[in-house]
Amino acid sequence: MLKILRDKTFFLFFMGNIISLIGFGFNLIAMSWLVLEETNSEFALGKIMAVATMPGLILALVAGVIIDKVNRKWLLVNLDIFRLIVVSIFIYMLNTTGFNLMALYPVAMLMGLGNSLFWPTAQAFVQELVDENDYFSANALLSASYQVGSLFGAGAGGFVVHLYGPVTALYYNALAYLVSGVLIAMAPFTKKVSENPSEKIFNAISKGFIFLKDKTGILFLGLTTILSDIAIWGALSVLTITVSKEIFLKGSWGYGVMDGMYGVGALISTVAVAKMVQGAGRKKSLILCYTIAGMSCFISPSMATIYFAGWAYFFMGLFNNSARIIVRTIFMEVIPNHIMGRVQTIFGVYTRVMMLTSAMLAGWIAEQYDAYVGMNFASAHYAGALLGVLFIINFHRFKEEVFMRKG
């Protein structure tokens, strides 16, 4: 793992990605708190989260072709600059005209556009930078960058919002995108010549679908295991702050405790997952991960204090992220790099549809019933991921395709 970090290009990308994700964490808590404080409506927050997913739905398939054809380094830099501009405009609006829920919708949509391109580009860029033998370590490091970003972004962001307000958190958000863009721009990188650069757009898009048609085991793995990520980015993006505010009465800093503990657990998983896979194999590890992550989600709102709820989130982060690293490594081993962006964005369309549905349903359930029922709904996402893995293990053709490298 340390060998990869000695590569200057990977190291600068790695640090830039961490700082970009810290900025995203500040953005998420600042916008969530603004909506809840100003509207007192979980459903309104769910709609904002849903709107943020729409650009990914509309542009995803074309975006996949773009990711596979252009220089991914400079695409990441330009996306940091784009998000910096959007956040800066939003800060100006808050300072001059105050909060306006209707004005937040286009801001959320533009931020969603930047995010929906940045994350699959980062995944494809990592695959392009490292040798196949280093995929597992590279995925662990990429995941570590996400978790450090979550830990310091959402965790520290919660405390900044609590002490200084959401606008201050957005200033840190803008600064993070600026620093990230500079670091990635400094990374020495020359893109390899694209495969068939003059290829028509429809033919380019179709290659991702053709690949998944031939690799139905990978398709099924993606459709089911992505549900665990949808729990985090969909339902829990609405419910975590609701649980902190309504059950534990701790507001934004309680959100920081819970989300920060999730980040700590997920960060530890980047080291622990290798030991787990060595001891139990990939199949048993995935079963264990989705079972414990789902149970941790289910019990978290029933804990005696916010700190015990934080520990439930710690185990959710530890095991959910371990499963993510295993699945992402399988993807890298099976999906060729020249179509990785297209395949990732096909899964991205599905993810965003489900995130949109999950976030809105979670907000509606919490508002119509309570946060406890909402967390039961979030836990069901992990049950779906678990059932998907069990089906693959017991269906011979899928098992051979998905677990062909290691059991």
Looking at residues 293-311, what average pLDDT do you find?
93
What domains, with CATH codes, occur in the chain?
Answer: 9-184+201-402 (1.20.1250.20)
The highest-confidence range among 62-76, 144-158, 360-374, by mean pLDDT, is: 360-374
SS (H, E, C) the chain: CHHHHCCHHHHHHHHHHHHHHHHHHHHHHHHHHHHHHHHCCHHHHHHHHHHHHHHHHHHHHHHHHHHHHCCHHHHHHHHHHHHHHHHHHHHHHHHHHCCCHHHHHHHHHHHHHHHHHHHHHHHHHHHHHCCHHHHHHHHHHHHHHHHHHHHHHHHHHHHHHHHHCHHHHHHHHHHHHHHHHHHHHCCCCCCCCCCCCCCCHHHHHHHHHHHHHHCHHHHHHHHHHHHHHHHHHHHHHHHHHHHHHHHCCCHHHHHHHHHHHHHHHHHHHHHHHHHHHHHHHHHHHHHHHHHHHHHHHHHHHHCCCHHHHHHHHHHHHHHHHHHHHHHHHHHHHHCCHHHHHHHHHHHHHHHHHHHHHHHHHHHHHHHHCCHHHHHHHHHHHHHHHHHHHHHHHHCHHHHHHHCCCCC
Looking at residues 237-245, what average pLDDT do you find?
86
pLDDT over 70 at 126, yes or no: yes
Percent of the chain at pLDDT exceeding 90: 26
Looking at residues 205-218, what average pLDDT do you find?
79
pTM of the predicted structure, to 2 decimals:
0.73
pLDDT per residue as tens digits for the range 169-183: 999 999 999 999 999
Where does the pLDDT of residue 100 fall: very low under 50, low under 70, confident under 90, or very high at 90 and above? confident
Where does the pLDDT of residue 60 fall: very low under 50, low under 70, confident under 90, or very high at 90 and above? low
The highest-confidence range among 109-113, 155-159, 330-334, 340-344, by mean pLDDT, is: 109-113
The predicted structure's pLDDT at residue 80: 95
pLDDT over 70 at 396, yes or no: no
